[in-house]
Amino acid sequence: MGKLTGKIVWVTGAGTGIGEGAALALASEGATLVLTGRRAAPLEEVAARIGAAGGAAHVQPGDMTNAAAVKAIADWIETTLGRIDIFVANAGINILDRGWDQITAEGIDTVLHGNLDSVFYGAIAVLPIMRRQQGGQIIVTASMAGRWVGLMSGPAYVAAKHGVVAACHTINMQECVNGIRCTAVLPGEVATPILDKRPVPVSAEERGRMAQKEDVGDLIRYIACLPPHVVINEVMICPTWNRGYVAGLQRKSTN
């Protein structure tokens, strides 16, 4: 019996990348998964892998930037499965034209809706359910860009992820009395499909040195398995070969 046997876990952005890694890791602990993303096919593939390993997964496609759709999925989970124990808010996106000299109003909307609004919509959908339960856990995929300001990820993404981290802390401040806890997970570079949205292509060799989706998924599994009386408010996970550090060393050696 796994540590999450009997728990209902909703994972967004679950078809690929960190969401996929998290869903598989949480299922390995016995949780029943609800998988959400825009595209049904990748979600069905993840659900099939969970089922083949003896687990249970339900596919609920949806757009996390649509508040009504998000609430409808949360309501379906409560009605069908009875509760939501853990919500993994992982859905996110970035764009290629991200610098101040490139970004458009449409691009800003895409990034803010996909990374910030989606977390807020998910939170306000699950929090009433968790309050009724007097317990629950929210785990949010933020980013190192949500703690340190830099240009690589683009100003909209940096602003969105800073907002996400702040939101996580305010959930703990208000909802701790209801037995609800929230963790902001801040990954550095992870070899996921979002790298394909980088203006400068990332090579296969570079991706191989990065953290992998399974690494972050296992961290999310660990957080989810913590006893209810403790919370990790914020945690970072980065590749040992940190390209930012390496670039700094290279600049130092040329000075």
Taken in order of first residue, the domains within the chain and their CATH numbers are 8-254 (3.40.50.720)
Q: Is 180 a residue whose pLDDT tops 80? A: yes
Residue 255 confidence class, pLDDT cut points 50, 70, 90: low
Q: Is 96 a residue whose pLDDT tops 80? A: yes
b/e code 74-108 from CB counts within 10 Å (16+ = b): beebbeeeeebbbbbbbbbbbbeebeeeebeeebb
pLDDT at site 234: 98
Mean pLDDT of 199-228: 93
3-state secondary structure of 211: strand
Kindly state the percentage of the chain with pLDDT values over 90. 86
154: left (phi over 0), alpha (psi -120 to 50) or beta: left
pLDDT at site 97: 94
For residues 9 and 26, is the Cβ–Cβ distance under 8 A? yes
pLDDT at site 116: 98
Mean pLDDT of 71-93: 97
pLDDT in tens, 101-152: 999 999 999 999 999 999 999 999 999 999 999 999 999 999 999 999 999 9
Distance, in Å, from the CA atom of 96 to the CA atom of 242, rounded to the nearest integer, reads 22
pLDDT at site 252: 73
pLDDT in tens, 218-253: 999 999 999 999 999 999 999 999 888 888 888 877
Residue 193 confidence class, pLDDT cut points 50, 70, 90: confident
Q: Which two tokens stand for residue 182?
A: 């929230």
Q: Which two tokens stand for residue 248?
A: 């700094």
- Confidence (pTM): 0.94
For residues 190 and 18, is the Cβ–Cβ distance under 8 A? yes
Distance, in Å, from the CA atom of 146 to the CA atom of 111, rounded to the nearest integer, reads 14
Active site residues: 157
Q: Is 197 a residue whose pLDDT tops 80? A: no
pLDDT in tens, 40-78: 999 999 999 999 999 999 999 999 999 999 999 999 999
